[in-house]
Amino acid sequence: MAAAAVSGAKRSLRAELKQRLRALSAEERLRQSRLLTQKVMAHSRYQRSQRISIFLSMQDEVETEEIIRDIFRQGKTCFIPRYQSQSNHMDMVRLASPEEIPLLPKTSWNIAQPAAGEAREEALSSGGLDLIFMPGLGFDEDGNRLGRGGSYYDAYIRRCLQGQGQRPYLLALAFKEQLCPRIPVGDQDMRVDEVLYEDADIDDSSVP
């Protein structure tokens, strides 16, 4: 598919998925989020990972707060995204505790993140990441992902490959309404290793 066609297909699918997410009730979002939290805690990749990046969820995303609390309970190290709004640059910076989340400033997209000038440990400068929880608007069974159009995660994963020589495990968290038969992708789009949703079988086949 030509780049212009991919871009157009992504645009219309984004609009459709946003509509699907708007139609989800708060109760249903919470129900699926709780179920996915249990799946994450039982997942061998999560259990074995020590350095984990996770997004602070927006209203139409799987709720991650309980997973974040568990990361700290398990003594793992937690990193969260810090986006630069004028570019597609994103860092994964260390979160000190779950209690600081409500105190973080909000971006123009209403995402909580540490202030741009605040000095924080960045994951790639201190040992890389074992696992990245991936947000997105839509996914298919092959691990293709439709983001919100900023290419932040695609660019960051390429930096991981350069900086730590290997890719962290990419685990997407999705409502079942976000599953699509096929996601249109371009050359720069990174696939996730696994999409976790309500009816998904946990893929532990690649675990040594």
pLDDT (tens place) for every residue of the chain, 208 residues total: 678 888 889 999 999 999 999 999 999 999 999 999 999 999 999 999 999 999 999 989 999 999 999 999 999 999 999 998 778 799 999 999 999 999 999 988 788 999 988 999 999 999 999 999 999 999 999 999 999 888 899 999 999 988 777 889 999 999 999 999 999 988 888 899 999 999 877 655 444 4
Cα gap 112→102, rounded to integer Å: 8
Q: Is 69 annotated as a binding residue?
A: no
Residue 206 lies in a domain: no
The domain spanning residue 44 has which CATH number?
3.40.50.10420
Q: Which residue has the tokens 């989020």?
A: 33
Helix (H, G, I), strand (E, B) or coil at 199: coil
Domain containing residue 55:
3-196
Q: Is 149 annotated as a binding residue?
A: yes
Residue 145 is predicted with a pLDDT of: 95
Longest dimension (CA), the chain: 47
DSSP-derived pairing of the beta strands 77-83 and 51-53: parallel
What residues pair up with 169 in beta bridges, in sequence order?
Answer: 131
Q: Residue 79's CB: how many other CB atoms inside 10 A? A: 23
Cα gap 208→48, rounded to integer Å: 11
The Cα-based distances of 106 to 113, 141, 163 in angstroms read 6, 33, 29
Residue 201 lies in a domain: no
Q: Is 11 annotated as a binding residue?
A: yes
The overall pTM is greater than 0.85: yes
Residue 36 lies in a domain: yes
Residue 149 lies in a domain: yes
Determine contact, residues 111/58, Cβ cutoff 8 Å. Answer: yes
Q: Is 146 annotated as a binding residue?
A: yes
Q: Is 196 annotated as a binding residue?
A: no
Q: Is 145 annotated as a binding residue?
A: yes
Determine contact, residues 52/130, Cβ cutoff 8 Å. Answer: yes
Residue 139 is predicted with a pLDDT of: 96
- Which tokens sit at 124? 């790639």
Domain count, the chain: 1
Residue 149 region, left (φ>0) first, then alpha (ψ -120 to 50), else beta? left
Q: Is 83 annotated as a binding residue?
A: no
Q: Is 151 annotated as a binding residue?
A: yes
Residue 205 lies in a domain: no
Q: Is 57 annotated as a binding residue?
A: no
Q: Is 148 annotated as a binding residue?
A: yes
Residue 127 lies in a domain: yes
